[in-house]
Amino acid sequence: MKTGIQSRLLLTTSLVLSSFLFLAGFVLDRSFQESIRESARDQLELVIYSLMGAALEFDEQLGFSTDLADNRLYQPESGWYAMVERHGKEDRWRSLSARTTGVEFLDYQGILNPGQFDFHEENEGSVDRFFLTYVVIWEDEDETLLTFQVAADQEPFVRTIRGFRRNLYIGLGAVTVFFVMAQYVAVRWGLRPLRAMAEEVRELEDGKRERLSESYPIELDGLAQNLDRFIAHEQRSRSRYRKAMEDLAHSLKTPLAVIRNALQDDKREESNLLSEQLDRMENTVTRQLTRASAVGPVIVGRRVDVGNVIDRLVRALQTAYSDRNIEVEQQLEPGMTVRGDERDLMEMLGNLLENAFKYTRTRILIRSASSASTSIYLEDDGPGIDPELREEVLNRGTRADEVQQGQGIGLAVVAELVELYHGQLTISESRWGGAEIRLDLP
């Protein structure tokens, strides 16, 4: 399936932009998560420092003043918990929030060195928590080691991450849509000269203009000029070729007519033979000139109204064969057109209709159908064309005088034109036993 330049550019830029923004969102999301973890660690570290500043010892029992900096340690289900343990003694202090919640702290005796922090995550049931542990040498008489452990529920931090992630991807999605729309507008604007050129080429094909306009950007200016030169050259060449063929036909007709008139006055037996050969020469010259002038569809051709051409041909042939009272029925689709040269279409349909009028008995049916191509059917009730001769009369190399009389001499000329137009010509039997000619043109 072919795609246009605009679709390719939009698809490519959309994929690149979406991939870039997705990676940027992923990096920002990971960075924000790390910053939240660092924020949680810093907050837990501040709690440890506040506990160290509020630590008291009463009768060799560890205790804390009631004016702790973080009141969440005194609130049940607050999400912040603390525990202080003295090494070597069964002396442990737990905050009210830790006691009411039942938070389990790890035993770090002998694991961490003094002045060392340990930050990690633990899962207790369905609750995820951050833990920070710090071991310090307490300045008392025995210089005991104290382990400070604080914990915080991850849920508030996770909510913050979810909110940031939601806002991030909504924002990135909006940015993506905005940039895609901006890219669409930019691509449409950038490709407008190409669309204008395509429209002008279609107008050239329809015969609505003679050449392309000159208001193209630098990148397309050379192409437009070359197209104009090519179209003008093609039209001039075609015109010169047809005129040369017409001049040749006129040049040959005059000498042949003089010879024929001279032979009519000659009473010798050889004159009959020469007259016969002159007839063959005239038929051959006429046919070859007709075939030579059939150069096929022009590069830029107009749409030819098929119905109009058939009407003109039928009126002319009915006048020529008025003495035979031939009934002609037309079943043509309205508005049916073929792109090409009107003279070529006149040549093809003229030969086919002339044969139909020449060999039919009483009736001719002309009908059409259109799908991927334009199909024209000509049916008559004449003697038809023998199956063994159907391929022969369409043979490109068959000479006119080799075809049996009454088998449609002009069909070879029509076949030549149809081939140049990349069409198809088929012969079969009509519904009345005569010939049915089907002409298919793109």
Determine the Cα angle at 52 with ends 49 and 56, to 5°.
155
DSSP letter assigned to residue 407: S
Radius of gyration of the chain (CA): 49
Q: What is the pLDDT of residues 295-307, one digit of tens each?
A: 555 555 577 888 8
- Give residue 207's pLDDT: 67
Region 116-135: mean pLDDT is: 86
Region 29-46: mean pLDDT is: 91
For the chain, the structural domain boundaries read 5-160, 218-293, 302-441
Region 63-77: mean pLDDT is: 72
- Give residue 211's pLDDT: 77
Class of domain 5-160: alpha beta
Q: Provide CATH code, domain 302-441.
A: 3.30.565.10
Distance CA 232, CA 227 (A): 8
Residues 419, 396 contacting (CB under 8 angstroms) = yes
Hey, what are 384's tokens? 């038809």
Minimum mean pLDDT range among 7-11, 77-81, 295-299, 418-422: 295-299
pLDDT at 176 over 60: yes
Q: Residues near 303 by Cβ (< 8 Å), separated by ≥ 6?
A: 206, 207, 337, 338, 339
SS3 83: strand
Q: Do you know the residue count of the chain?
A: 442
Distance CA 286, CA 412 (A): 13
Q: What is the pLDDT of residues 38-48, one digit of tens each?
A: 999 999 999 88
pLDDT band at 163 (very low <50, low <70, confident <90, very high): very high
Residue 97's nearest CA partner among 69, 121, 73 is: 73
- Give residue 66's pLDDT: 60
Residues 65, 46 contacting (CB under 8 angstroms) = no
| Average pLDDT value for the chain | 79
- Give residue 166's pLDDT: 92
Residues 378, 364 contacting (CB under 8 angstroms) = yes
Task: Say which residue the tokens 């080691």 belong to.
Answer: 145
- Give residue 32's pLDDT: 92
Distance CA 205, CA 297 (A): 11
pTM, full prediction: 0.50
- Give residue 270's pLDDT: 58
**Domains 5-160 and 302-441 are alike in CATH topology:** no
Residue 414's nearest CA partner among 434, 430, 437, 433 is: 437
Choice between 390 and 157, residue whose per-residue pLDDT is larger = 157
Hey, what are 359's tokens? 């060999």
Q: What is the pLDDT of residues 328-381, one digit of tens each?
A: 888 888 888 887 778 888 888 888 898 889 889 889 999 988 777 788 999 999
- Give residue 400's pLDDT: 38
- Mark out the alpha helices in 191-217 (DSSP H runs): 192-205
Distance CA 34, CA 158 (A): 12
DSSP letter assigned to residue 376: E
